[in-house]
Every structure is written in C-alpha cells, then in structure tokens.
Structure 1
Amino acid sequence: MTRKQATIAVHSGLNDDEQYGCVVPPIYLSSTYNFLDFKQPRMHDYSRRSNPTRDAVQRVLAELEGGAGAILTNTGMSAIHLVTMVFLKPGDLLVAPHDCYGGSYRLFESMNKRGAWRVKFVDQGNYVELEAALAEHPKLVLLESPSNPLLRVVDIAVICNAARNAGAVSVVDNTFLSPVLQNPLALGADLVIHSCTKYLNGHSDVVAGAVIAKDPDLVKELMWWANNIGVTGAAFDSYLLLRGLRTLAPRMATAQYNALAIVEYLQQQPLVKKLYHPSLPENVGHEYVARQQRGFGAMLSFELNGDEMLLRSFLKALQFFTLAESLGGVESLISHTATMTHAGMSEEARAAAGISETLLRISVGIEDHKDLIADLDNAFRTASRD
C-alpha cells in the first residue's frame, strides 16, 4: 500500500457527518427514505439500491484499488456471481484457474451443468493451455494471484492483455493480498473482486464482497444489477468494514512479518513434505512477484509428510491456530483444504489442481510470531510421538 493509500484507509469516511460533526460516520439503518414531493426522490430512496453508509465504504474501496467505483455485496460469492451474471449469457465461455477457491469452482461447475454458461478450468501459468482457451473467444477471464490454496502467482498484466485481445473482460480476485500489496486495475485488469470478509474487514465478524471496476459505465451496470437481484451489502456490515479498513495496513504488515518467520521455520521441519509461499524461489510464479506485488502476503500452505492419523494428531495439538475456514482475520487459522475450503471440488479436480489430501492452509494472524512458531513446533513434536 502506498503512503497515500494508507492515509485513505485510516481516514475512510471520517469527518463526513455535517449534522453533528461525528468523526466516525454514523450507521444509517433506515430501509427507506421519504420523498421530497411527488416524483421528487432524494439521493437515497430504498436501501437495497443505495445507502449512505454503504456509499462511504464503496468510495473508499474504489480509491484503494484505483477504480471508478465499487459495489459492496452481501458475500464474496455474490460478488463473483454478480460479475458472471452481468457478463455471461447462455453459450458464453468463462476461463477460470484450475486451482481456484473451492466455492468459486463449485459455482462455476454448477452453473455450467445448468447450461447458464460454459466454463473451462485451465492452468493459467501454462501459456500454451491458456492460449488454447483464449482462442475459444471467452467473454470473461477470472484470475487468482496468488491462487487459493497453492499460492501460485501468474503474470496479471500479460494475461489481462491477452484476454482483452481475445475480446474478454478480465477480473482478478485480489482477496489474498488486498490493495495493500497489489492493485490489479493498474496492471490491466477490468475488474477486481474481493471477499471483504477476509483482510479488508480483518476481524472475522462480517461477511461481504466487493466488485471494483475501472470503467464508470461498468460500475453503473454492475450497480444496476446488484440492486436488481438484491445482493447489495447491509448498512451495519458497511460500518464494520469501514472500521476494519482503518487498520488494514498495519494488520497486513504484522501478519506478513509473522508469515515470513513461519515459512523460515517450516523449511527446517522434516514433517513438512512441501511448502507453498510466494517468497520461495521454487514457488510457481515467484518470478512475477516483484513485478506486480508489494510483498508476499500472509497466506501459506504445506503438505504434511504423513497419513490422516498424523494429520489429526497435529491439528488436535494446536492451541494458537484455530481449525476453521476463512482467512484474513487478526487470529491465525488453519484449514484442511480437501475437507473444508475445497470440499466442493471433486477428488479428481483437486488432484488435477495439485491439491493433496494432506495439504493444510494457514492464514497467519497478528499474534507474536514466536508464540505461533512454538505452537507449531509443539504440534509437530506431539504428532511425531503419537
């Protein structure tokens, strides 16, 4: 995050209250607003369409990502669904990563089976495979970089340019890095999506999503459809998200520092078969990190060198890492990919993406890194004894 972005985040929505001068903007919980007169609506008429608190957080999200506008939705998945329904019609093709988030994979595969549109899952780091998919003239190309859960990095600028030449709209899921560490619109993407549930809110108490667009006309179309199908975010969630954004930069800095310390520890751990993190030279796409990211992020994954019994023992021994889905909160979380975040993918699809049955994903929080490493060390020692 640039210094200006950090200042924008801290001052998000502050001092906007002209009535009482509240430093922190109030929550506008009203569902409806009176008309000035017959055929004379105010700026807001119904909160599904627009709400003052939601407007405030949408302005901040657009500024942080360098977009013309943002649409706050009620979940991260509804943000993805909104984009697909706006840009895809029956027969249209979506090109998506073969190793994308399990919820995205489930949505795309189920809509494909219903005939809503078509999807092709490809290894976007394999340019031969990607070019073959783009030759089919897709309407939408989705990127995840780094990917969930294998932290693979792809060249956003190159892929977005190739998508544009193929006549497709490009959308980048920037949930793992947030605007602190990456701005896909500046790299050529048409749209950016976020699960605001994660780093943007940062406190595991809001479920929300966002779509940010570079083109003002796309913002208007997405906003119209969000109101039309009723996926806009709630006022109280908007207020909590504004609160979370104010600490985004320091939270990310601490979590990333902790993650690097844990990666260094895990590299020496014999019960770790394979480690995934963008800082590692052997990580897929490591060569693109310096070009498009301002850091490595606080997500990491590793394959445990053992069977299910060892895995169960390891997880049970953890005290500071909570076994739970989601990510990006102040607390450290660990999840078993195959049975949790990516359970919606078939076993064959997970195998094709390289997601093993012993893969564990960690969202590193802001606790003291020495405590986190000690917790992992104790769990490894306990699992090796059992």
Structure 2
Amino acid sequence: MTKHKNAQTDLIHAPRTAPQYIETIQPPLYRASTIIFKSTSHLFDRHWTDRYDYSYGTHGTPTTFTLGDNIAQIEGGIFSLLAPSGLSAINLVNSTLLSSGDEVWVADNIYGPNLEHLNNLQDRYGISVKIYNPIDADSFQPTEKSKLIWLEAAGSVTLEFPDLKNLVKKAQQANVITALDNTWGAGLAFNAFDFSDEHLSVDLTVHALTKYPSGGGDILMGSVVTRDQQLHHKLFKMHATQGICVSGDDSAQIQRSLAHMSLRYDHQSLNAIKVLDWLKQQPQFSQILHPSLNNAAGHQFWAEVCTTGKSAGLVSVIFKPDYDLTAVRKFCDSLQLFKLGFSWGGPVSLAMLYDLKQMRSLSNTHLQQGLLVRFCIGLEHPEDLIQDIQNALKQLE
C-alpha cells in the first residue's frame, strides 16, 4: 500500500479485504450505500434493467440479490424485489399497478392493512375497491376498469382457501393482474406459478419474509416475485424511485434461515394438526377453522391446489356465543406458552383475539357467531401447547 503523509488518509484507503479465495457455507455479507465503480466504462456501460445492476445500495448488493434469487426460486418465480416489510411489498404493488379511476378487487378475508391502504387510495385518488367472496368465483365480476385482483391462500384469520383456479382463469380472461399474498403457503404448500394440471399461474406473489423465511420473529422484510420480466421492470422502477431497500444484515439473517425453512414449516404444520385434533373435542368452541378440515370453507380448493397436503401452522377457533369479550380476554390472558402477539412463523407460539364483526364486509354464512382466537403454532411440543390451552380454558369454568 502506498504510504501518504497523513495517517488519516492511510486509515481510510487501507485495503478493505483480505484475498477472497475461500468458500464458506454462508455467502459473504455486503453492507453498502456507495458502490465503487472501477472506471467510467463500468459507470456508464450499465442500465438499471440489468439483472444485477450494482450502482447504489438501494438498487441491490450481492447479499440482497442472492436472497431475492433464492426467494424467487422457492416460490417458483424468476424475478424478485425486496422491501422492508410484507406490507411495504404490498404497497409497492398497489402503487405501481393502480391509477386514478382503476378498479381493484380484494377478498373479503384480505389482510387488514392491505385493505386499509387500498381504502386510503380510494379516498385520495379515486381507486375503486370491490369486495368478492374468495370461495365463490362468481362474486368476482371484473369490468373494463378492473386492473388488479388480490388473492390470499389461505385467507387472513379465518383461513378460507380460495377458488384459486377459477379466480385466476376469470382474471386472465379479463386481463386483470393477479397478485397473491403467498405468506401462508410460503412457496412450500404449493407453487403459485404452476398450481394446476393446466399450469395456471398468478402474475405475482407477495411474501412477508418476516414469517417463515426469517423464522426468528426478529426480522421485518417482504418480497415481490414474478416470472414476467416486463412486469418486474415496472415494479422495479417504482421500487427504485421510492427508494425502497433492505438492510444487508437483515438479508443475511434471512438467507441463513432459508436452509431449514421447509423443516420448520413442516414441523409447525404437523404441530398445528395435533393441536387441531384436540381443539375439535373441546365444548367451548363452536367452530374450528383450518383448510384441511373436511367441513372447512374452501377445503376442496385446498385439496386440489395443495396436493402435498401441507398447510401452515395456523388454526383459529370461534368461541360459543356464551363466552363474551370479558371471558375470552380472560382465556387469552391465562395462556402461558402462547404469547399475545401478531405474526407467525417464529419458534414461539402466539395467540390473537379478533372480533369478526369488525373485519368482514360480506355475509359469511359459514362462520359461526362468537369471538375468534387465532393460534400460531411454534416449535414447542404440541402436548405442552395443548396443556396450556386446557389450563386457560379451566379459568372460564
């Protein structure tokens, strides 16, 4: 290294890395805002549409591109964009694809914050929000103004599995872009880009990497995946102009967790089934909600799409109307292993209380009356989780 007169200059311009000729289990971590160009040719002989455009930290580094590529592969797509959270990824899609006067269709069991964002766009920019029943494809009636339909498989909180095949077919016939919130399936329960004998595909998926890909309940991130390069470039341009980016450290943490993501998903799913079998026998509940149940709304659609038989570690229960809000809150407060908190996919089991009267727009005749508690099954032993619920139920006697 050339010696300079001032030690401060040498400290700044010292070699940053030892020779990089080793191979490691985990890829190297790159932290970068500024990226150094080797020459003006490298600076100007590039384009933002290049698959790996190393120009500035917000556009991507080897660390973020590696994670994006792996998420795309898991989900069956080709192109991926990363965002600071699942909701941020959802907002990227809405902001990119909807303009004043457009119509967007959302399932009645849509993720609440997505609906809130769309309602805000409706109030401010004249976006028209239409609600459809996810298990009744006939309730989706696109018009010339329809530009986007949001799908959820399974739906938020009440876990209905949609008539994915007929909804996608109908959207394709009307040239409506299909966006699937794929957080529940995580790319493991089914392939959203090839989920039928007819090789049906959604146009894009959004995935809250906060959940199963992270696995620790400590990282926030989201992704948008597609196979359509033109659609990807449209999303990427909005992604860049809005300055959407993620931390290299967070990306490396999620990348590290991907190796055992499917093992955790399968284990938590099996734990949920064991807890589910016990919950069905408890007299305090009027209804158990899980797509694998024969009497579940959308069970037949789950069976034909999720041919692996996989389902996420979520199960919801509806208390009989005899149990009022005070009683159900007492039940939740009495849980010990289950912690009160949003999200899922981490090692700790979670519970959350919902009042469906405040969450649904359509008449859902398949849902019983009563307060709902969603259980997100973690990695604890299922017998211990069952005992925890049993002890909490005793507090209601």
TM-score using structure 2 length = 0.86
Q: 1:148-163 to 2 correspondence within 5 Å?
A: 148-163=156-171
Pick from 8, 11, 26 the counterpart of residue 24 of structure 1: 26
Find the aligned partners of 2:21 and 2:102 in 1 and give their Cα distance.
Answer: 49
Q: More deviation in 53-62 or 104-113?
A: 104-113
What secondary structure sits across from 1:181 in the alignment? coil
Find the aligned partners of 2:146 and 2:182 in 1 and give their Cα distance.
Answer: 21
What secondary structure sits across from 2:188 in the alignment? helix
Pick from 298, 307, 310 the counterpart of residue 313 of structure 2: 298
Alignment-mate amino acid for residue 120 of structure 2: S
Pick from 243, 248, 256 the counterpart of residue 235 of structure 1: 248
What secondary structure sits across from 2:106 in the alignment? strand
Q: Which runs of 5+ in 2 are unaligned?
A: 1-18, 47-52, 196-200
Q: Does 1:46 align with 2:56?
A: yes
Q: More deviation in 215-224 or 141-150?
A: 215-224
Q: More deviation in 301-310 or 355-364?
A: 355-364
Alignment-mate amino acid for residue 119 of structure 2: E
TM-score using structure 1 length = 0.88
Alignment-mate amino acid for residue 395 of structure 2: T
User: Could you tell me the percent identity over the aligned residues?
Assistant: 27
Mapped contact 1:350–1:356 kept (Cα < 8 A): no
Give per-residue Cα distances to partners, 1:82-130, cap 9 Å, x unaligned.
Answer: 1112111111111010111111111111111112522111112223321
1:157, distance to aligned residue in structure 2 (A): 2.2
Q: 1:73-222 to 2 correspondence within 5 Å?
A: 73-130=83-140, 133-135=141-143, 137-187=145-195, 188-222=201-235
Mapped contact 1:277–1:299 kept (Cα < 8 A): yes
Find the aligned partners of 1:213 and 1:66 in 2 and give their Cα distance.
Answer: 9
What secondary structure sits across from 1:380 in the alignment? helix
Pick from 326, 333, 337 the counterpart of residue 354 of structure 2: 337
Find the aligned partners of 1:258 and 1:204 in 2 and give their Cα distance.
Answer: 18
Pick from 317, 335, 355 the counterpart of residue 318 of structure 1: 335
Q: More deviation in 32-41 or 80-89?
A: 32-41
Give per-residue Cα distances to partners, 1:51-77, cap 9 Å, x unaligned.
Answer: 111000011011111112111111111
Structure-1 residue corresponding to 2:358: 347
Structure-2 residue corresponding to 1:223: 236
Structure-1 residue corresponding to 2:326: 309
Pick from 369, 372, 387 the counterpart of residue 374 of structure 1: 387
CA RMSD of aligned residues (A): 2.0
Find the aligned partners of 1:37 and 1:296 in 2 and give their Cα distance.
Answer: 51
Q: Which runs of 5+ in 1 are unaligned?
A: 1-16
Give per-residue Cα distances to partners, 1:28-67, cap 9 Å, x unaligned.
Answer: 1121111212352385121101111100001101111111
In structure 2, relative to structure 1, the CA distance for the partners of 1:55 and 1:348 (3 Å cut) is closer
